[in-house]
Amino acid sequence: MAVSARSRTVLTLYSSRDCVHCHRVRLVLAAKGVTYDLVIADPARPPEDLLDLNPYGSLPTLVDRDLVLYDTGVICEYIDERYPHPPLMPVDPLSRARVRLAIVRVEKEWLPLAAQAAGSTKAAEGARRQLREGLIAALPLFKAAKFFLNTEISLADCALAPLIWRLPSLGVSLPREAAPITDYGERIFRNPGFSRSLTPEERALRE
Protein backbone atom coordinates (compact mmCIF):
# COMPACT_ATOMS: atom_id res chain seq x y z
CA MET A 1 0.00 0.00 0.00
CA ALA A 2 1.43 3.39 -1.03
CA VAL A 3 2.22 5.94 1.65
CA SER A 4 0.04 9.02 1.37
CA ALA A 5 2.04 12.18 0.73
CA ARG A 6 0.48 13.94 3.70
CA SER A 7 0.96 11.00 6.07
CA ARG A 8 4.75 10.89 5.78
CA THR A 9 6.49 11.50 9.09
CA VAL A 10 10.07 11.65 7.85
CA LEU A 11 11.79 14.18 5.63
CA THR A 12 10.90 13.36 2.03
CA LEU A 13 12.43 14.60 -1.19
CA TYR A 14 10.67 14.24 -4.52
CA SER A 15 13.38 14.18 -7.16
CA SER A 16 13.92 13.24 -10.77
CA ARG A 17 16.58 10.73 -11.77
CA ASP A 18 18.83 13.20 -13.54
CA CYS A 19 18.32 16.89 -12.77
CA VAL A 20 20.92 19.48 -11.81
CA HIS A 21 18.46 21.19 -9.44
CA CYS A 22 17.41 17.96 -7.70
CA HIS A 23 21.04 16.91 -7.49
CA ARG A 24 21.81 20.21 -5.78
CA VAL A 25 19.31 19.47 -3.02
CA ARG A 26 20.52 15.88 -2.63
CA LEU A 27 24.06 17.19 -2.29
CA VAL A 28 23.03 19.58 0.50
CA LEU A 29 21.28 16.72 2.30
CA ALA A 30 24.34 14.50 1.87
CA ALA A 31 26.66 17.24 3.17
CA LYS A 32 24.48 17.45 6.27
CA GLY A 33 24.29 13.67 6.71
CA VAL A 34 20.50 13.89 6.88
CA THR A 35 18.41 10.73 6.60
CA TYR A 36 15.43 11.15 4.28
CA ASP A 37 13.08 9.30 1.98
CA LEU A 38 13.86 9.75 -1.70
CA VAL A 39 10.89 9.52 -4.05
CA ILE A 40 11.87 9.38 -7.71
CA ALA A 41 9.29 11.04 -9.96
CA ASP A 42 8.92 11.68 -13.67
CA PRO A 43 8.73 15.47 -14.21
CA ALA A 44 6.70 14.89 -17.38
CA ARG A 45 4.10 12.89 -15.45
CA PRO A 46 4.07 14.03 -11.82
CA PRO A 47 2.44 11.51 -9.47
CA GLU A 48 -0.85 12.44 -7.83
CA ASP A 49 0.66 12.67 -4.36
CA LEU A 50 3.18 15.24 -5.61
CA LEU A 51 0.43 17.29 -7.26
CA ASP A 52 -1.48 17.16 -3.99
CA LEU A 53 1.51 18.74 -2.25
CA ASN A 54 2.81 21.05 -4.95
CA PRO A 55 0.33 22.64 -7.39
CA TYR A 56 3.11 23.06 -9.96
CA GLY A 57 4.15 19.41 -9.78
CA SER A 58 7.74 20.64 -10.00
CA LEU A 59 10.92 18.92 -8.88
CA PRO A 60 12.60 19.05 -6.46
CA THR A 61 9.90 19.19 -3.77
CA LEU A 62 10.78 18.77 -0.11
CA VAL A 63 8.25 17.65 2.50
CA ASP A 64 9.00 18.05 6.21
CA ARG A 65 5.82 16.95 7.99
CA ASP A 66 3.33 19.77 7.30
CA LEU A 67 5.84 21.95 5.46
CA VAL A 68 6.13 21.70 1.68
CA LEU A 69 8.87 23.57 -0.21
CA TYR A 70 9.32 23.60 -3.98
CA ASP A 71 11.89 26.26 -4.84
CA THR A 72 15.44 24.90 -5.05
CA GLY A 73 17.10 27.86 -3.36
CA VAL A 74 14.51 28.00 -0.59
CA ILE A 75 14.84 24.25 -0.02
CA CYS A 76 18.63 24.45 0.27
CA GLU A 77 18.60 27.36 2.70
CA TYR A 78 15.88 25.67 4.77
CA ILE A 79 17.95 22.48 5.07
CA ASP A 80 21.02 24.50 6.05
CA GLU A 81 19.09 26.27 8.82
CA ARG A 82 17.05 23.24 9.87
CA TYR A 83 20.20 21.10 10.25
CA PRO A 84 22.88 23.61 11.29
CA HIS A 85 25.88 21.27 11.42
CA PRO A 86 28.02 21.49 9.43
CA PRO A 87 27.05 25.02 8.32
CA LEU A 88 26.98 25.60 4.56
CA MET A 89 26.98 29.39 4.73
CA PRO A 90 29.68 31.68 6.13
CA VAL A 91 29.04 33.44 9.42
CA ASP A 92 29.71 37.02 8.41
CA PRO A 93 27.18 38.96 6.30
CA LEU A 94 29.67 40.00 3.60
CA SER A 95 30.78 36.44 2.88
CA ARG A 96 27.17 35.22 2.95
CA ALA A 97 26.23 37.87 0.39
CA ARG A 98 29.11 36.80 -1.85
CA VAL A 99 28.00 33.16 -1.68
CA ARG A 100 24.43 34.14 -2.52
CA LEU A 101 25.61 36.20 -5.50
CA ALA A 102 27.70 33.25 -6.68
CA ILE A 103 24.59 31.07 -6.57
CA VAL A 104 22.68 33.69 -8.57
CA ARG A 105 25.42 33.60 -11.21
CA VAL A 106 25.22 29.81 -11.46
CA GLU A 107 21.42 29.93 -11.71
CA LYS A 108 21.12 32.85 -14.11
CA GLU A 109 24.14 32.38 -16.38
CA TRP A 110 25.44 28.81 -16.41
CA LEU A 111 22.50 26.49 -15.72
CA PRO A 112 20.35 27.90 -18.57
CA LEU A 113 23.28 27.32 -20.95
CA ALA A 114 23.66 23.75 -19.64
CA ALA A 115 19.97 23.14 -20.34
CA GLN A 116 20.45 24.36 -23.91
CA ALA A 117 23.67 22.43 -24.50
CA ALA A 118 22.14 19.01 -25.09
CA GLY A 119 22.01 17.84 -28.70
CA SER A 120 23.85 18.56 -31.93
CA THR A 121 22.06 21.67 -33.13
CA LYS A 122 23.82 24.97 -33.77
CA ALA A 123 22.02 26.42 -30.75
CA ALA A 124 23.36 23.62 -28.53
CA GLU A 125 26.86 24.12 -29.92
CA GLY A 126 26.62 27.82 -29.18
CA ALA A 127 25.42 27.14 -25.64
CA ARG A 128 28.35 24.79 -25.03
CA ARG A 129 30.76 27.44 -26.28
CA GLN A 130 29.22 30.15 -24.09
CA LEU A 131 29.26 27.87 -21.05
CA ARG A 132 32.92 26.99 -21.61
CA GLU A 133 33.85 30.65 -22.06
CA GLY A 134 31.82 31.69 -19.01
CA LEU A 135 33.58 29.16 -16.79
CA ILE A 136 37.02 30.13 -18.10
CA ALA A 137 36.24 33.79 -17.45
CA ALA A 138 35.47 32.84 -13.84
CA LEU A 139 38.86 31.15 -13.30
CA PRO A 140 39.98 33.70 -10.68
CA LEU A 141 37.02 32.66 -8.52
CA PHE A 142 38.11 29.02 -8.65
CA LYS A 143 41.66 30.02 -7.72
CA ALA A 144 40.67 32.29 -4.82
CA ALA A 145 40.01 29.54 -2.28
CA LYS A 146 39.83 25.78 -1.85
CA PHE A 147 36.11 25.90 -2.57
CA PHE A 148 34.05 28.44 -4.52
CA LEU A 149 34.72 31.77 -2.75
CA ASN A 150 35.10 30.01 0.58
CA THR A 151 37.58 27.92 2.53
CA GLU A 152 34.84 25.43 3.40
CA ILE A 153 32.17 23.84 1.23
CA SER A 154 29.08 26.05 0.96
CA LEU A 155 25.68 26.20 -0.71
CA ALA A 156 27.45 27.75 -3.72
CA ASP A 157 29.43 24.53 -4.19
CA CYS A 158 26.25 22.49 -3.91
CA ALA A 159 24.81 24.58 -6.76
CA LEU A 160 27.95 24.45 -8.90
CA ALA A 161 29.30 20.91 -8.43
CA PRO A 162 26.33 19.16 -10.15
CA LEU A 163 27.00 21.33 -13.22
CA ILE A 164 30.74 20.59 -13.25
CA TRP A 165 29.91 16.87 -12.93
CA ARG A 166 27.78 17.07 -16.10
CA LEU A 167 30.25 18.94 -18.31
CA PRO A 168 31.68 15.85 -20.08
CA SER A 169 28.19 14.47 -20.80
CA LEU A 170 27.21 17.88 -22.21
CA GLY A 171 30.19 17.85 -24.54
CA VAL A 172 31.86 20.78 -22.76
CA SER A 173 35.62 20.22 -22.65
CA LEU A 174 37.80 22.60 -20.72
CA PRO A 175 41.25 23.66 -21.96
CA ARG A 176 44.45 22.98 -20.05
CA GLU A 177 44.49 26.47 -18.56
CA ALA A 178 41.16 25.67 -16.89
CA ALA A 179 42.83 23.01 -14.70
CA PRO A 180 41.76 24.86 -11.50
CA ILE A 181 38.12 24.18 -12.44
CA THR A 182 38.84 20.49 -13.07
CA ASP A 183 40.80 20.25 -9.81
CA TYR A 184 37.97 21.99 -7.95
CA GLY A 185 35.49 19.45 -9.26
CA GLU A 186 37.67 16.49 -8.37
CA ARG A 187 38.08 17.73 -4.77
CA ILE A 188 34.31 17.70 -4.36
CA PHE A 189 33.71 14.48 -6.30
CA ARG A 190 36.10 12.59 -4.00
CA ASN A 191 33.95 13.50 -1.02
CA PRO A 192 31.81 10.54 0.14
CA GLY A 193 28.85 12.92 0.46
CA PHE A 194 28.98 13.68 -3.25
CA SER A 195 28.92 9.99 -4.08
CA ARG A 196 25.86 9.53 -1.84
CA SER A 197 24.08 12.38 -3.63
CA LEU A 198 24.19 10.66 -7.03
CA THR A 199 21.42 8.61 -8.57
CA PRO A 200 22.50 5.63 -10.73
CA GLU A 201 21.65 7.67 -13.83
CA GLU A 202 23.84 10.57 -12.71
CA ARG A 203 26.68 8.24 -11.76
CA ALA A 204 26.56 6.82 -15.29
CA LEU A 205 27.25 10.28 -16.75
CA ARG A 206 30.91 9.82 -15.84
CA GLU A 207 31.29 6.12 -16.61
CA 24 to CA 21: how far, in whole Å?
A: 5
In what side-by-side order are the strands of the sheet with 12-15? Answer: 37-40, 12-15, 61-64, 67-69
Contact 25, 62 (CB under 8 A): yes
CA 91 to CA 199: how far, in whole Å?
A: 32
* Residues designated catalytic: 19
205 strand-pairing partners? none
Other CB atoms within a 10 A radius of the CB of residue 69 amount to: 21
Concatenated DSSP letters of 184-205 = HHHHHHTSHHHHHH--HHHHGG
Rg for the chain, CA atoms, rounded: 17
CA 30 to CA 176: how far, in whole Å?
A: 31
HSE of 41 in the Cβ direction (CA atoms, 13 Å)?
25
62 strand-pairing partners? 13, 69
Altogether, the residues listed in the chain come to a count of 207
